[in-house]
Structures are given as C-alpha cells and as structure tokens.
C-alpha cells in the first residue's frame, strides 16, 4: 500500500515512546521496530524526530479519543471509564508491562525548549479530557464538576500505569481502578 512504511514508522514510534520514552528512542529503534526502510525517514519526516513524534502523538491521541468517545456513546460516563480502564489494564498485562502511555513518555522527557512537541502533548491530554468531561456533563454533572472528574480520571490512569509498570505488578493498577470507580459512583449522586 502507499504510505505504508510511513504509517508503520508512526505506529512504531508510538509504541517505543510508551515503552522507553521520547529521549531514549532513536531512529534506529523506530526502523528496527517498524521494518520500514532506513533511507526514507527524512523523505517522510523532513522535520526529523520532532515531526515524527508529533505525528505519533496525534495518531495515538485521536485513536484513543475515538475509543473513549465510542464508549461514552454505548453507556454512562462511569461505564465508559470502567471499560477504558479495563482495556488499559489488559494491554498492560498482555504486553508484560510494556504498554504504558506514549504521551506520558514524551511529556516527561521535554525540556523547556521543544514547544511544538509540548503543544502536541498538551493537546492530546486536552482532547481526552474534553471527550470524557462531555459525557459526565451529559450524565448530569455541572461543567466544573465534569472537568474535575475527567482530569482526575486521566491523572489517576497515568499514575496507575506508571506505578504498575515500575513494579511490574497489576496491583497498583487494580487498586487505583477500585478507588477511582468507587469515587465516581459516590459522587454521581451529588452532581
């Protein structure tokens, strides 16, 4: 297919970022993982590593937002969160604790420069938060409460992934899932 190697590079970059972060990922790693030809990197990404990273974040962010959006359409906001957490947990387990979050892997590697990448990171988080906040609001929460809950969900999830990966143990993830869902159910009465 046309542009196949380009897309495979974007996907491989996202995978590598979630495993070892942005700074620790080299083009060689991306080539090796994707199987894409070495000579076409700068043909597809004239902006180099930064451009590849921005595309990888966009690709992953949109894909993830679409998944969450779908879940919010199939049920309540709480059910969507529960389903999403289950998927994240399963991905972590099946990957032997390699599958974290590529956005997080980039976010913590950025120094003060690199504003374009920083913007891509912020936009990813913001897109996710928007989708979920809309569902909480639809289910009766005030706009402010919906925003807080959505931020809380993604913060907890990112932290849970970090802890579980560090321990190579699902328990921190399970603990966070238990407490987070408990909180969401408790507050669903007091919007």
CB contact at 8 A, 10 and 55: yes
Single out the residue of 100, 106, 115, 122 nearest to residue 172, CA to CA.
100
**Using CB distances below 5 to 8 A depending on partner kind, what does residue 183 bind out of its own copies, DNA, none?**
its own copies
From the list 42, 66, 175, 191, which residue makes contact with its own copies (rule: CB under 8 A)? 175
Q: Is 65 in the site for its own copies (CB under 8 A)?
A: no
Number of CB atoms found within 10 A of residue 144's CB? 10
Q: Which stretch binds its own copies (CB under 8 A): 56-64, 70-78, 85-93, 110-118?
A: 110-118
**Using CB distances below 5 to 8 A depending on partner kind, what does residue 42 bind out of its own copies, DNA, none?**
DNA
Tell me which residues touch DNA (CB under 7 A): 2-3, 5-6, 25-29, 36-44, 46, 48-50
Please, which residue, 9 or 100, has the CB nearer to its own copies? Answer: 100
**Total of residues contacting its own copies (CB under 8 A):** 50
Q: Is 12 in the site for its own copies (CB under 8 A)?
A: no
Q: What contacts 111, CB < 8 A, 6 or more positions away?
A: none
Could you give the angle at the alpha carbon of 35 between the alpha carbons of 34 and 40, nearest 5°?
A: 90
Q: Please compute, for residue 48, the number of CA atoms within 13 A of its CA located in the half-sphere on the CB side.
A: 5
**Using CB distances below 5 to 8 A depending on partner kind, what does residue 90 bind out of its own copies, DNA, none?**
none
**Using CB distances below 5 to 8 A depending on partner kind, what does residue 27 bind out of its own copies, DNA, none?**
DNA
Q: Is 134 in the site for its own copies (CB under 8 A)?
A: no
Instruction: Give the Cα separation of 181 and 26 in Å (integer).
Output: 38
From the list 76, 159, 170, 188, which residue makes contact with its own copies (rule: CB under 8 A)? 159
CA dihedral 177, 182, 183, 186 (to 10 degrees): 160
- In the complex, what is the shortest distance from the CB of residue 88 to its own copies, in angstroms, rounded to a whole number? 13
Collapsing DSSP to helix, strand or coil, 186 comes out as helix
């Amino acid at each position: 297919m046309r542009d196949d190697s380009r897309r495979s590079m974007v996907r491989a970059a996202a995978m590598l970022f979630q495993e070892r972060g942005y700074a620790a990922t080299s083009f060689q790693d991306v080539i090796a993982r994707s199987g894409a030809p070495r000579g076409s990197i700068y043909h597809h990404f004239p902006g180099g590593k930064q451009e590849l990273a921005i595309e990888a974040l966009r690709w992953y962010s949109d894909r993830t937002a679409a998944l969450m959006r779908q879940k919010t359409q199939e049920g309540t906001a709480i059910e969507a969160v529960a389903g999403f957490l289950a998927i994240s947990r399963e991905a972590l387990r099946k990957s032997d604790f390699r599958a974290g979050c590529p956005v997080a892997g980039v976010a913590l590697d950025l120094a003060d420069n690199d504003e374009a990448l920083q913007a891509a990171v912020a936009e990813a988080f913001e897109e996710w938060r928007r989708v979920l906040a809309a569902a909480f609001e639809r289910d009766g929460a005030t706009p402010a409460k919906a925003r807080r809950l959505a931020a809380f969900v993604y913060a907890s999830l990112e932290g849970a992934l970090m802890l579980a990966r560090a321990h190579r143990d699902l328990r921190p993830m399970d603990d966070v899932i238990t407490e987070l869902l408990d909180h969401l159910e408790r507050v669903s009465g007091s919007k």
